[in-house]
Chains A and B, each alone.
Chain A
Amino acid sequence: MDFFRQALVIARKDLRAELRTKEAINASLAFAIVILVLFSFAFDPSEDQTREMSGGLLWIVFAFAGTLVLNRSFAREVPNDCLDALLAAPISGGALFLGKALANFALVMAVELVSLPVFGIFYNVHWTSQFWSLLLVLALGTWGLTVIGTIFSALTVNIRLRELMAPLLVYPMMIPALMSAMQLSMQLIAGKPLGGENQIWLRLLVAFDVIFTALSLFLLETVLVG
């Protein structure tokens, strides 16, 4: 129980700090909306084209906008050497990781849930026909991005060029989760239900989440202390 209680303490602390400064969430949200709006003006796609590119467009926007939140995750601990205080505290690396990942997940999901209606309006797409399934895919895909983003934020926390290095390391690792989420989202926005030919992508996404969550929970202590 201590593990989850401590993870929640960390998550609450990160969310409270972010909601006070709004540094990452404002940048991320503005970025997501601007890219969606600019693309709609630049290409003016037809309904069929929109349906085909919807998954790719949405997840590229989510991945780039999400990175702005995820990069800040451990960088937030650098001013005042707060990371030392967390490392000194009797909490496991796994609880620290889970707390940070939960806070990041909430923030990235919030950005996505605001971006989706903007996408619907500017691309004239009816995206709610498979709403609950789409929400499930959003949650699974976002958890995958969050896990990778959080562990690499820890890995690059002491690197001088971390703002550059973190995305370079993170995006290649995200490819399996992004591909699955793109395929599933495209088909759900086109009105096809989950199951059948989607199944393989859903399984890949779930497997990605499970494997990388387990690895990150296990590795955070080593990443931070050596």
Chain B
Amino acid sequence: MRAVAAEGVWKFYGDYPALRDVIVHADPGTCLALIGRNGAGKTTLLRIIGGFSKAGRGQVKIFDKDPRETETRRRVGFIGHGISVYDELSAFENLSLFGRLYNLPDPRKSAMEWLERTGLDRVKDGLVREFSRGMRQRLAVARAFLHEPSVLLLDEPFTALDDRAIAVLQRLLHEALAEGRTVVMSTHQLREALELATHVALLNRGKIAFHGERTPEMVADPGWVYARYGEG
């Protein structure tokens, strides 16, 4: 069973097709890097996979189920462009809140555990609005991992992260892959992404230009895939 499968997905903004007959998939335990220039449709595709937006045509399945089904959402973790945590709440309150929404057995314990894993336990009662950018990003990572999702959808996860947050995220993603979870990430930071990715999909103006396993050429020269399959 595929962890993530998008079949013939189209998305229109007015008459403009942002995605054109996109077919991508990711198996359990793999990491798919969605790469492409600005406006290629990476975020649009991730949002459709995450169930935040509906495809105009085609369908997306996560473990053979619709992304909007409650059981599917329980199995998916998402990091988008924003940190998706509340400035007016403390770090602990934020994670406890999402722990309750995900119906975790002990939301407070899970919140404390993830604050420790992301190095935020000392500031657990501090309001998020008082946090530095790096701390906010680490809290966003903790929120996405809190419910131990089987599928992680990450939109530009390394953008604007400080060194420590990048290290935390890479460590957690390596652990997640080792545990058999699936990661789908859109990114411009090819070096960090290709280090993790097992598969690569290149989007070019809403169409899949390449979809396959990561090759040694890609790791040696991250720009290779653009030169070979993209617009150069």
A interface residues with partner B (beta carbon < 8 Å)? 2, 5-6, 9-10, 13, 16-17, 20-21, 79-82, 84-92, 221, 225-226
Contact A90/B87 with A80-B82, A85-B143 known, Cβ cut-off 8 Å: no
Q: Is the CB of B97 within 8 A of A90?
A: no
Given the complex, which residues of A lie within 8 Å of B84, measured CB to CB? 80-82, 84-85
A85's partner among B78, B81, B88, B103 (CB-CB below 8 A) is B78
Q: How large is the interface on B (under 10, 10 to 19, 20 to 34, 35 or more residues)?
A: 20 to 34
In the assembled complex, the Cα of A10 lies from the Cα of B98 at a distance in Å of 10
Partner of B73, one of A16, A20, A90: A90
A9-B97, A88-B73, A225-B53 are contacts. A82–B103 as well, Cβ < 8 Å? no
Q: Which residues of A contact B41 (CB under 8 A)?
A: none
For the complex, give the distance between the alpha carbons of A11 and B54 in Å.
27
**Which of A20, A86, A88, A226 gathers the greatest number of chain B CB atoms within 10 Å?**
A88
With both chains docked as a complex, state the minimum distance between the C-beta of B57 and any C-beta of chain A, in angstroms. 14
Knowing A225-B52, A226-B54, the reply to whether A17 touches B86 (Cβ < 8 A) is yes
A184 CA to B71 CA in the complex, in Å? 46
Q: Which of B64-98 touch A at CB < 8 Å?
A: 68, 70-71, 73-74, 76-78, 80-89, 93, 97-98
When A17-B89, A87-B51, A91-B101 are in contact, do A80 and B83 touch as well, CB less than 8 Å? Answer: yes
B83→A89 contact, CB < 8 A? no
Partner of B88, one of A21, A87, A88: A21
Once A90-B74, A225-B51, A225-B52 are accepted as A-B contacts, the answer to whether A82 and B100 lie under 8 Å apart by CB is no
Interchain CB contact under 8 A, A81 and B103:
no
Q: How far is the CA of A78 from the CA of B102 in the complex (A)?
A: 21
